[in-house]
Amino acid sequence: MLPANDDFLQQIYASAILIVDDNEINRIFIEKALQARGFTRILPVPSAEEALAKMRQFKPDMVILDILMPDMNGFECCEAIRRQKQYRDLPILIQTTITEPALRVKAFEMGATDFVSKPIYPDELYARVMVHLEKRHSLKALQLYKDRIEVELESARQLQQAILPRLEEINDIERRCRLDIASYFQTSSEIGGDFWGMKNLFPHQTAFWLVDFSGHGVAAALNAFRLQAYLKEYSILTARPGEYLSHLNDKLLHLLLRGQFATMFYGIVDTQSNMLFYACACAPHPILLRKATGKAEMIDGSGNPLGIGMHLYPTQTIAFASGDLLLLYSDAFTETPNAAGETITEEQIMALLEKHPGASSATVKELLLDYFKHHAGDGLSDDLTIAICIRSAA
Q: Are residues 121 and 201 in the same domain?
A: no
Q: Are residues 129 and 171 in the same domain?
A: no
Q: pLDDT tens digit string along 121-176?
A: 999 999 999 999 999 999 888 888 888 888 877 777 787 788 899 999 999 999 99
Cα 166 to Cα 161, 163, 270: the distances in Å are 9, 8, 22
Of 71, 48, 47, 51, nearest in space to 60 by CA = 51
- Does residue 178 fall inside a structural domain? yes
Residue 57 has pLDDT above 80, yes or no: yes
Residue 1 has pLDDT above 60, yes or no: no
- Does residue 75 fall inside a structural domain? yes
Structural domains counted in the chain: 2
C-alpha–C-alpha distance, residues 199 and 233, integer Å: 12
Q: Provide the pLDDT confidence category of residue 394 given band limits of 50, 70 and 90.
A: low
- Does residue 36 fall inside a structural domain? yes
Kindly state the average pLDDT of the residues 341-364: 96
Q: End of a domain among 153, 178, 204?
A: 153
Q: Are residues 199 and 53 in the same domain?
A: no
Q: Are residues 371 and 285 in the same domain?
A: yes
Contact 212, 328 (CB under 8 A): no
The residues, ordered by sequence, that sit 6+ positions from 316 with a Cβ below 8 Å of its Cβ are 241, 242, 277, 278, 279, 280, 299, 300
Residue 233 has pLDDT above 90, yes or no: no
Q: What percent of the chain has pLDDT over 70?
A: 97
- CA terminus-to-terminus distance, the chain: 77
Query: What CATH number has the domain bearing residue 77?
Result: 3.40.50.2300
Cα 345 to Cα 176, 303, 355: the distances in Å are 35, 19, 16
Whether pTM > 0.85 for this model: the answer is no
Q: Are residues 229 and 375 in the same domain?
A: yes
C-alpha–C-alpha distance, residues 92 and 62, integer Å: 6
- Does residue 158 fall inside a structural domain? no
**Residue 68 or residue 215, greater confidence:** 68
Contact 268, 241 (CB under 8 A): yes
Q: End of a domain among 153, 174, 206?
A: 153
Q: Are residues 112 and 191 in the same domain?
A: no
Q: Are residues 135 and 211 in the same domain?
A: no
Q: Are residues 114 and 242 in the same domain?
A: no
Q: End of a domain among 120, 135, 153?
A: 153
Residue 59 has pLDDT above 90, yes or no: yes
Residue 98 has pLDDT above 80, yes or no: no
How many other CB atoms are there within 10 angstroms of residue 113's CB atom? 21
Residue 393 has pLDDT above 80, yes or no: no
Q: What is the pLDDT of residue 2?
A: 43
Residues 339, 344, 348, 352, CA torsion sign: positive
Kindly state the average pLDDT of the residues 257-281: 95
Q: Are residues 93 and 174 in the same domain?
A: no
Look over the chain and give the mean of its residue pLDDT values, rounded to a whole number: 91
- Does residue 1 fall inside a structural domain? no
Query: What CATH number has the domain bearing residue 381?
Result: 3.60.40.10
- Does residue 59 fall inside a structural domain? yes
Q: Are residues 229 and 365 in the same domain?
A: yes
Q: Which of 116-125, 134-143, 227-236, 326-335 has the highest mean pLDDT?
A: 326-335
Domain range spanning residue 83? 6-153
Q: pLDDT tens digit string along 297-309?
A: 999 999 999 999 8
Q: Are residues 125 and 271 in the same domain?
A: no
Q: Are residues 147 and 223 in the same domain?
A: no
